[in-house]
Structures are given as structure tokens and as C-alpha cells.
Amino acid sequence: MSLPIDDIRRLADLHQKPRHLHFQYGTAGFRTIGENLESVMFKVGILAGLRSKRLDGHTIGVMVTASHNPEPDNGVKLVDPRGEMLEASWESHATALANAADTDAFIEVLKNLVKTLKIDLSKPSRVVYARDTRPSGPALVAALEDGFTALGVEARNAGVTTTPILHYLVRAINTKSTKDTYGDDSVEGYMQKLSTAFKKLVAGKPASPPLIIDCANGVGAEAAATLSKYLGESLPLILLNTETTTPGALNHACGADFVKTQQKIPPSLSSHIKAGQRACSLDGDADRLMYFYLDDRSQFHMLDGDKIAALVAAFIVDLVKSAGLENEVRVGIVQTAYANGGSTKYLSERLPVRCVPTGVKHLHHAAERYDVGVYFEANGHGTVLFSPETQATLAEHQPSTPAQSTALNHLINLTQVINQTVGDALSDMLLVEVVLAHRSYSGVEWDSLYVDLPNRLVKVVVPDRSIFKTEDAERRLVSPSGLQARIDDLTRKYEAGRAFVRPSGTEDVVRVYAEARLRAQADELAYRVAGLVYDETGGDPATRPGEFL
């Protein structure tokens, strides 16, 4: 069987690549101004179908979103059959297809792919797809659907939903009626699974005061509203920033990325939040979560991905011990260089900790190597993975006391409340609420597990970020040569100083991170390292040291 060239040609002609643009499938898939993405969407439709054929007709996911980016941006990423990110070796195929200049070139690249990857075109192809609430979404989805039509893909439209729900659906569809069944393959199935496990986990605990959720004016607002109905009185939620149809509102001065990078409360929440009340922010596609609270003096306290990891990991370790499984089940942590030094110190005194390069796929894969792998990026993206062997151990273990039995049941319910396919703000939120309820913690006690070192993140616009090469999980530069030594000399002058430089995977900039014992010192170190980067590259004159973004 060969490619349906006539159908592909006819539809490809309708979705021409803009001449001047180069596309790259990066850490978060393709991402750029939405109106430039139509040709990419069409090609991704075909690529997803081919990937499904290559994997014997297993269902592939396609998510149309630009996460925390501003509203004019959009993007697309593929999801592999177990609900994880697209296998890295296919990223370059996606890039090659997206950059084929015209229909002829595109068909050539397609034919080559089919040949070199030995894709059996007679296999079925199945895809499930969804989008977030961005205005550019419907037109882009239409282009994607043309891609499905061109290849004859059996495509299921999951409508407007969050990235993690789409990942859930992919896994649920592919495990349907198998021993690894992940849940019913519907949004209701997802809601039912999470809320049922949550209710069991908090049964008998005093009711929590209401939790404020900043929904970033994105698709998380709809999912959170549905979840709230399923949770009922077990967790009262107050949903704010739910304006999904107001132009320009998405991620604007709100959401998880705003909270993390600005280190302050979204102004839209100020009049709603009372001292001590906990609140959290989702990002635009609801796969990142930031908690925070205001203290009695109205000081803002951020509880980021590192604090979530610390809270959750300690709780799971305690449950494993109480269940009598400490010899069978090893809990480990995965972080990136952005993890606050305070968190790394706290966690590594208690558990094995690994540091990996930025990007979910690196964390996810490293976490799979533990029995229970807890991974979180400081920016709030993360989850907990229970290995198949560990899930079997939990299912078979015979507890010898009532206390062991209770702990074991809690662990089993945790495997259900946690979305193990990918970081999921709503699932992570339930997980946090479970731990807070069990520990009787408010934000204050949680925050005091360890003290964050003051830190600063800045970006430098450089002519060519590809000259920046890193090693040691992005903690050190190997190129440009000599720059790391100068960073080291500078960093040594600051108490508890730590700084690193890495090229962004999603923007045309170089990022600089610095932390130190005192706020002013962290700021100074960041700006001075940024100055070194600027001097090295001659940076963009628009961004002089002291004016970094």
C-alpha cells in the first residue's frame, strides 16, 4: 500500500508554508504566533497518523496549545500511546516535515520517512486530539483535520480540554479492556477517577476551608468547574480568572507562569484572598501549578514545584514506611538546575535526588527509574510515577496490622488521584490537598519545611544562542570557552551563591539563574552573570546589562 498522494497533494496545496519561517519541534512541540501555524498543523495531522501506523494502530494524541504563552501564540505537540511525550527521535521528523518548502518537497520528505522508518501503510491509524481556548484554535484544528483526512486517519475529537486530560485520554484509550486499564476514556472517566480517589483519601479528615484557584482565564477554568461538581463538599473551590472568551485575558497578569516569574500574587486575586488562605494558579493549559498564600502582614509566600515535591515526597515516604514496605519500595526525586538550593538540600538529606536537563521528557524518564519517582520543575510542572512493579507490590502486599492496611490503601488511592501520564495541575492540586489534610498543615507549616534561597531569573537576547552549550544537567557551560570560569569566579564571591547559564529551548534567548543567601545578592549575581553573557556575545544593544527582561 502506498501513500494517498492525490489526497495529500490536494489538501497540502491549501496549507502552504509561509516562506520566511523556520519551524522547530522543541521541548514543547511547535510553538509560535498562531496565525503562522496552519501548514504545521496540517503536516502534524499526517505525522500523527504515520506514528500511529508505525505503532501498530495505537492511538496517538495531538494537543493544540501554547500553554502559558500570550494569546496570539499557539502550538502543537504529539502524545505517545502511554500518554507520554513524543519519542525524541521523531522530533526531527516533525521538524523536517514542517520545513518542507512546498507540496512537492513535503511529499518527498513523507515518502522518505515511510521508507526509512519502515512504516506499514496498511496498518490502521488512530488519533485523539484537543485544543485549549485560544481564539486561533478552531482554524488550526481545521488544518489538523485536513491532515487526518489526507491520510485517512480515524480521528476522535476531544474538543476543548486541558493538556493533561488529553494525555489521560490517550492512555485510557490504549489500555481499554487490558489489565493495565487506566480509566474510562472520557472526561467523565477522568473526573470520576480523580474525585473518587480524593474522597477516599480525605475521608474522616476535617473539611478544608475553600481553596481559591486562579484559572489563568484558560481551559483549566472549564475543567476545574467540572471537577468542582464531582468533588462536592469534599473540597470547596472558588474559581477566579475564568474569562475564557475575553480577548487578551488568557495568561495576562495571572496564571502559574506569572506567579513564578513575578514572584507575586496576580492583582486580580488581591481582593479575594484573606490572610492565611491558600490559593493556587494554573497555567493556560492546566499542566502547571503554583500555590501561594499571604501572611498576616500581607506578605506573599510562593509554594512552587520544589515545595510541592518536598511536601509530597515526604508524605509518600512516610506512607511507604507505615505500610511496612520500606525495603521493597524506593522513593526518589528528580529536579532540574532551577530547583531552589534550599529544596535540594532538604530533599537530598532524606532521599536520592537526581538533576536532569530542563524539559518534562528528561524528568519523566529519570523518574521512571525509581520505584516511586517524584518529579517537579520549579515552575510547577510535575507528577509522581509508580513503576509497574511497585503497583503490583501494592496490589499484592498483605498488611500485618490495621495501621499498615490503612497506609497501603492510601498509597493505592494515591496512584489513582495522581495523573501519571504527565504533570497535571488539577491532579497535583488534589494531591497537595490530600497531604495538607493528612498533616493538618496550612500554607505556613508547608512553607516552613525549608527556606527558599532568594533567586533571580533573567534573560539575555543574543545574536546566536546556539553557541551556548552546557554539561552536567545544564549546570555548567562548555561553550563559549572561558565563560564558565568567569561565572565561577563571580559566584564564589557570594554567600551560598549559585548561578548557571543555558540557552532557552522555547525562546530565542539565553537564560541566567542565580541564587544567594540575600535577596540583593541574588539579584546582583544574576545581573552580573547576565553582563558576562552580554559582553561575551555583544548581545542585542536593546538589552544592556541592568535592563534584562
Mark the binding-site residues for substrate, compressed into ranges. Answer: 377-379, 502-506, 511
Which amino acid does the sequence have at 370? Answer: Y
**Catalytic residue check, 466:** no
What is the footprint of ligand 16G within residues 478-517 (CB under 6 A)? 504-507, 511
SS3 of 412-468: HHHHHHCCCCCCCHHHHHHHHHHHHHHHCCCHHHHHCCCCCCCEEEEEECCCCHHHC
Rounded to 10 deg, the angle between the 402-417 and 425-439 helix axes is 160
Q: Which stretch binds Mg ion (CB under 5 A): 283-291, 325-333, 388-396, 533-541?
A: 283-291
- Are 400 and 127 contacting, i.e. CB atoms less than 8 angstroms apart? no
Question: Which listed residue (146, 285, 304, 424) binds Mg ion by CB under 5 A?
Answer: 285
512: nearest Cα among 457, 448, 454: 457
Nearer to ligand 16G, 65 or 413 (CB): 65
Q: How far is the CB of 193 from Mg ion (least distance, A)?
A: 21
Nearer to ligand 16G, 40 or 325 (CB): 40
192 near ligand 16G, judged by CB under 6 A = no
Q: 404 vs 176, 227, 318, 490, CA distance in Å?
A: 32, 31, 11, 52
Residue 208 DSSP code: P
Which residues does the annotation place in the binding site?
Answer: 67, 283, 285, 287, 377-379, 502-506, 511
Nearer to Mg ion, 285 or 433 (CB): 285
What is the footprint of Mg ion within residues 57-76 (CB under 5 A)? 67
84 near ligand 16G, judged by CB under 6 A = no
Q: How far is the CB of 283 from Mg ion (least distance, A)?
A: 4
Q: How far is the CB of 506 from ligand 16G (least distance, A)?
A: 4
Question: Which listed residue (283, 428, 452, 536) binds Mg ion by CB under 5 A?
Answer: 283
Which residues does the annotation place in the binding site for Mg(2+)?
Answer: 67, 283, 285, 287
74: nearest Cα among 262, 285, 256: 285
421 near ligand 16G, judged by CB under 6 A = no
Which amino acid does the sequence have at 184? Answer: D
Q: HSE, CB side, 13 Å, CA atoms: give it for residue 85.
A: 20
Cα–Cα dist 44/56, whole Å: 18
Question: Which listed residue (27, 174, 195, 521) binds ligand 16G by CB under 6 A?
Answer: 27
27 binds, among Mg ion, ligand 16G, none (CB under 5 to 8 A by kind): ligand 16G
SS3 of 268-303: HHCCCCCCCCCEEEECCCCCCEEEEEECCCCCEEEE
- Are 96 and 108 contacting, i.e. CB atoms less than 8 angstroms apart? no
507 binds, among ligand 16G, Mg ion, none (CB under 5 to 8 A by kind): ligand 16G
Catalytic residue among 67, 136, 195, 343: 67
Residue 167, C-beta contacts closer than 8 angstroms, at least 6 positions apart: 61, 63, 79, 83, 84, 419, 421, 422, 424
358 near ligand 16G, judged by CB under 6 A = yes
* Interface residue list for ligand 16G (CB under 6 A): 27-28, 358-360, 377, 379, 381, 504-507, 511
* Interface residue list for Mg ion (CB under 5 A): 67, 283, 285, 287
List, by residue number, the catalytic residues: 67
